[in-house]
Amino acid sequence: MTQAPPRQAPIQGGGFIARNRTAHPAALHPPYKTSILRSPRAALLSFPSSLSEETGPVFGQGLLGPLDADMITNFAAPGESAIGPRIIVQGRVLDETGRGVPGALLEVWQANAGGRYRHAKEGYLAPLDPNFGGCGRCLTDAEGFYEFRSIMPGPYPWPNGGNDWRPAHIHFSLFGPSFAQRLITQMYFEGDPLIPLCPILGGVTDPAALGRLIATLDMKHTIPMDSRAFRFDIVLRGRRQSVFENRKEGL
């Protein structure tokens, strides 16, 4: 009679499934030059999550305005709209078990169609769009679905190397039902030739993890003669967690 194999020890870490650290880029990735100074010099520490981290915050529908999820018009003058190809971004926010996360707050920001951000320290000389602010937010519904409208962001050069360009992307900051479920990430677009050339994305060595950063064209949700649609699902925690930019301390 053969002996049964020992049971695998349960993953520890408060009430959450631990992150899969091997899927995330190394903190030190020399082709991404600022990581040389920003990467930790000592071993990481992990602490159990606290009750307040697992139970807060709580967001309500009253936090959002009627145009928060429409970046085409939420900064535009009356009767005007942002310049550029119109897009719809939609998908689901999922927990570590694959269930939809209701009431998650998504905050998004991006460059305009010319690849320029609206902030004081912007160094790229592409023109500003007077009708595009570059930021918005939305809440997931009861099944974890979200949707917002925007314009396709443009690529832009950045002073990392002699000729480095960031692929077109949208930044996401989102909260699940607790502070421990916060994720900061970026969404890219399938087929962009700059993706394999980007030093930042070069740090994501797991092809599956890199694929989770790339939105796919979703013709079913495209609006004819108006907007293309892209699907981008986000997993907050667990072994299939979306690649995040947060510091790696904690779970």
Q: Which of 32, 117, 146, 188 is catalytic?
A: 117
What sign for the dihedral angle of Cα 221, 225, 227, 229?
Answer: positive
CB 117 within 8 A of CB 103: no
Q: Which of 19, 29, 116, 169 is catalytic?
A: 169
- The per-residue b/e assignment along 1-23, b for 16 or more CB within 10 angstroms, e otherwise, is eeeeeeeeeeeebbebbbbeeeb
38 is a catalytic site residue: no
Angle at 145 between CA 135 and CA 251, to 5 degrees: 80
Q: What are phi and psi of 59, to 5 degrees?
A: -105, 150
- Retrieve residue 173's tokens: 């900051």
Reported as half-sphere exposure (CB side, CA atoms, 13 A), residue 180 has a value of: 23
Q: Which of 116, 156, 188, 237 is catalytic?
A: 156
- Spans in the chain with pLDDT lower than 70: 1-23, 58-61, 177, 180-181, 246-251
Give the pLDDT of residue 7: 41
Q: For residues 58 and 49, what is the distance between their CA atoms, to the nearest angstrom? A: 17
Give the pLDDT of residue 181: 67
Report the predicted TM-score, pTM, of the whole model to 2 decimal places: 0.84
The superfamily (CATH) of domain 59-235 is Aromatic compound dioxygenase (2.60.130.10)
Domain extents for the chain? 59-235
Q: Which of 171, 188, 212, 237 is catalytic?
A: 171
3-state secondary structure of 90: strand
Q: Which of 166, 188, 212, 237 is catalytic?
A: 166
32 is a catalytic site residue: no
24 is a catalytic site residue: no
